[in-house]
Amino acid sequence: MMYITEECINCSACNDECDNNAIYNAGDNYVLNDETLAALSNDFSYIVPELCDNCKSCVEVCAVDAIVEK
């Protein structure tokens, strides 16, 4: 599973890279199964686990290596 660490500087570069629209900006609500849900992080961009297929496209565009696998 991919997640974004506190190293994130909220540049949003990774958002455009995700074909699954799994990455949201800090504080933005996300949508899953037509349901709007509260942001998973108010401090950093975040990845919705249910939407991420581990393709790792986002990892390459992050200048501060904030996207990691756990």
Quick one: 28 or 57, whose CB is closer to ligand SF4?
57
| Closest approach of ligand SF4 to the CB of residue 69, in Å | 9
Q: Is there a contact between 62 and 14 (Cβ–Cβ < 8 Å)?
A: yes
Could you list the residues that contact ligand SF4 (CB under 6 A)? 2, 4, 8-14, 17-18, 20, 22-23, 45, 47, 52-58, 61-62, 64, 66-67
| Closest approach of ligand SF4 to the CB of residue 32, in Å | 14
